[in-house]
Amino acid sequence: MMNNQKITSLHLDVLKEIGNIGAAHAATALSDLLNKKIDMRVPKVEMVSFHEMMELAGGSEKVVVGIYLRIEGDTEGSMFFILPVEQANRFIQRLISDESFNFNDNPVSELGLSAMQEMGNILSGSYLSALSDFTGLKIYPTVPGISVDMFGAIISIGLIEISQVSDNVIVINTSIFEEGVEDSEEVRGHFFLLPDPDSFESIFKALGVS
């Protein structure tokens, strides 16, 4: 098990690089999908308390579109792609050429939902295959699930594995946004990669920094 105290700035840099490579590939995939330029921000790697984790991406009560999958294989963990509802609406409207699509509708149109799920699939797939290529680790993602709900309710499922070991979580947080709109939390899409506590060692070992 990776002891939190033993994580040095070199380790953090490695994790940042994972976020960088992963999100860059995902941003390119999204850009191809929408035929639109997508920018990304410098990745952040932080050790935060569960409470702080719940307050990321605009707060625990903010309604977001969340894609969640588990990673299995040589390294394990949880991965989320979180989009604010307004931004998710814009992406999906463009993707299915339907201006009237809205995630706030009840019920949400099946076509839009499955387009979003597919988008999540493609983006997380590009993120994770980049991660796999970079580390040489075999990574098997589960089929992503989708939920339109409060951020806290969505992200907390990713804390379950970690909470058996720790009260803190190391999160690799990269965000992307549409070029041409002003970058703010309102438009930012987040990739959150939460490696399971036992998985840091395999990542570091694979990259020669154990």
Which residues of the chain form contacts with other proteins (CB under 8 A)?
1, 50-51, 54, 60-61, 63, 68, 70, 106, 142-143, 145-154, 156-157, 159-161, 163-167
Return the number of the residue (3 or 10) whose C-beta is nearest other proteins.
3
Return the number of the residue (147 or 184) whose C-beta is nearest other proteins.
147
Q: Cα–Cα distance between 79 and 56 in angstroms, integer?
A: 15
E-only strand ranges, 37-95? 38-40, 44-49, 63-73, 77-84
In angstroms, what is the C-alpha Rg of the chain?
Answer: 16
Those residues with Cβ within 8 angstroms of residue 7's Cβ, 6 or more apart along the chain or in another chain: 47, 170, 200
> Using the 8-state DSSP alphabet, how is residue 136 labeled?
-
Question: Tokens 């995939």 correspond to what residue?
Answer: 29
Q: Rounded to the nearest whole angstrom, what is the least distance from the CB of residue 177 to other proteins in the complex?
A: 23
Q: Rounded to the nearest whole angstrom, what is the least distance from the CB of residue 151 to other proteins in the complex?
A: 6
Strand partners, 140: 72
Return the number of the residue (13 or 149) whose C-beta is nearest other proteins.
149
Q: Cα–Cα distance between 53 and 117 in angstroms, integer?
A: 24
Return the number of the residue (49 or 184) whose C-beta is nearest other proteins.
49
Q: Rounded to the nearest whole angstrom, what is the least distance from the CB of residue 32 to other proteins in the complex?
A: 27
Q: Rounded to the nearest whole angstrom, what is the least distance from the CB of residue 55 to other proteins in the complex?
A: 9
Q: Rounded to the nearest whole angstrom, what is the least distance from the CB of residue 79 to other proteins in the complex?
A: 12
Question: Tokens 């999204």 correspond to what residue?
Answer: 30
Q: Rounded to the nearest whole angstrom, what is the least distance from the CB of residue 22 to other proteins in the complex?
A: 21
Strand partners, 139: 73
Those residues with Cβ within 8 angstroms of residue 136's Cβ, 6 or more apart along the chain or in another chain: 206
